[in-house]
């Protein structure tokens, strides 16, 4: 998918052998380094690495990248996109504020921008983010100002698709209850809200600060387990009641380090 998009970005795609020596050699002349694979997070963050074919003998670690910190002193490439798990994470709590992770290692190496993740991500959502990111980059141009915008738009796109899949729209949140205990927890959450259930959907403030009339009735359908389903649906700008334990916030982990 990505290779077919490269000509539209004015790029010549190169896929080197997945070994440390060959990858580092290509980094010297690349404009964008896109890694799609697995990252391994270690207790010693300097030993965290990107998983290549020769990972047992020659790991592409944070420490190895630091050792090459002057490689791009004259010609800094635009972007490293690390589409792997936990490339911006660290297990060492004493170093949380030191940014010892793979994202920062690529910044030290000389990349102007680095995109990575704070924890585990799925292949499905990575593909969504990457496809939308490069589509926006194609439209906006290969500039510094386009990177953060492209990531912002791709995250918004993933967020919208996840909310639609989860049934979160206005006050409509469909929770699939597997047992009586789960049903009881949701009922307790609803009863915790001071406003009477019949008025939950009326005269609430939307995301833009304006008062909205979402309808006069909100109900619980004990058959379909629909939680706070209103009669009127005014779109995704409406205020929402979401039980965080049931929501899937898959768009959050992606982060950008840039100039």
- Check which CATH number belongs to the domain holding 91 and give it: 3.40.50.1460
Kindly report the average pLDDT of the chain as a whole number: 74
Residue 26 placed within a domain: yes
Residue 237 lies in a domain: no
Residues 43, 17 share a domain: yes
> Does 63 share its domain with 185?
no
Can you list the positions of beta strands (E) in the chain?
Answer: 32-36, 39-40, 49-50, 60-61, 79-83, 113-117, 173-174, 204-205, 211-212, 218-221, 226-230, 254-257
Q: Give the separation between CA 136 and CA 19, rounded to whole angstroms.
A: 30
Q: How far is CA 249 from CA 37, 77, 125, 223, in A?
A: 21, 31, 11, 26
pLDDT tens-digit series, residues 218-243:
333 333 333 333 334 444 444 444 44
Q: Is residue 236 part of a domain?
A: no
More confident residue, 48 or 199: 48
Tell me the mean pLDDT in the region 14-35: 93
pLDDT digits (tens, 9 = 90+) for 111-156: 999 999 998 888 888 899 999 999 999 999 999 999 999 999 999 9
pLDDT, position 181: 57
Question: Is residue 189 located within the same domain as residue 68?
Answer: no
| pLDDT over threshold 70, residue 205 | no
**Residue 76 pLDDT > 90:** no
Question: Which residues in 7-30 are b (16+ Cβ under 10 Å) and which e?
Answer: eebebeeeeeebbbeebbeebeeb
Q: Tokens for 56?
A: 């047992």
Report the pLDDT value the prediction gives residue 210, as an integer from 0 to 100: 46
* Structure confidence at residue 226 (pLDDT): 37
CB-based burial label for 212 (10 Å; 0-12, 13-18, 19+)? buried
If one counts the domains in the chain, the total is: 2
Quick one: 69 and 157 in the same domain? Answer: yes
Question: Which of 238, 240, 236 shows the shortest CA–CA distance to 228?
Answer: 240
Same domain, 152 and 174: no
* Same domain assignment for residues 112 and 221: no
Specify whether 36 is located in the same domain as 159.
yes
151 and 186 belong to one structural domain: no
Comparing CA positions, the residue from 165, 160, 177, 190 lying closest to residue 223 is 177
Q: Span 205-212, mean pLDDT?
A: 42
Instruction: Please report whether residue 155 resides in a domain.
Output: yes
Among 10-19, 30-39, 97-106, 163-172, the least confident range: 163-172
Of 171, 168, 163, the residue nearest 213 (C-alpha): 171
Assess if residue 210 is contained within a domain: yes
Its domain, for residue 72, covers 2-165+251-257
Q: What is the pLDDT of residue 99?
A: 82
Q: Is the pLDDT of residue 68 over 80?
A: yes
């Amino acid at each position: 998918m990505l290779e077919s998009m490269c000509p539209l970005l004015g790029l010549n795609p190169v896929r080197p052998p997945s070994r440390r020596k060959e990858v580092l050699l290509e980094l010297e002349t690349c404009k964008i380094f896109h890694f799609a694979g697995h990252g391994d997070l270690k207790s010693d963050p300097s030993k965290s690495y990107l998983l290549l074919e020769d990972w047992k003998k020659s790991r592409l670690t944070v420490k190895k990248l630091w050792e090459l910190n002057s490689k791009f002193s004259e010609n800094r490439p635009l972007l490293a996109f690390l589409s792997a798990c936990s490339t911006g994470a660290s297990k060492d709590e004493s170093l949380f504020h030191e940014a010892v992770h793979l994202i920062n290692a690529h910044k030290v190496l000389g990349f102007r921008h680095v995109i990575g993740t704070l924890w585990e991500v799925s292949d499905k959502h990575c593909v969504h983010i990457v496809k939308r990111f490069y589509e926006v980059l194609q439209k906006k141009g290969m500039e510094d100002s386009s990177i953060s915008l492209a990531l912002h738009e791709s995250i918004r796109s993933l967020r919208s698709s996840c909310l639609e899949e989860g049934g979160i729209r206005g006050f409509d949140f469909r929770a699939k209850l597997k047992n009586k205990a789960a049903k009881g927890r949701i009922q307790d959450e609803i009863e915790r809200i001071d406003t009477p259930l019949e008025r939950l959907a009326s005269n609430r403030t939307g995301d833009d600060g304006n008062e909205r009339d979402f309808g006069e009735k909100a109900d619980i359908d004990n058959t379909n387990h629909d939680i706070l389903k209103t009669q009127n649906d005014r779109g995704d700008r409406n205020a929402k009641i979401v039980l965080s334990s049931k929501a899937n916030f898959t768009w959050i982990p992606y982060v950008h380090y840039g100039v």
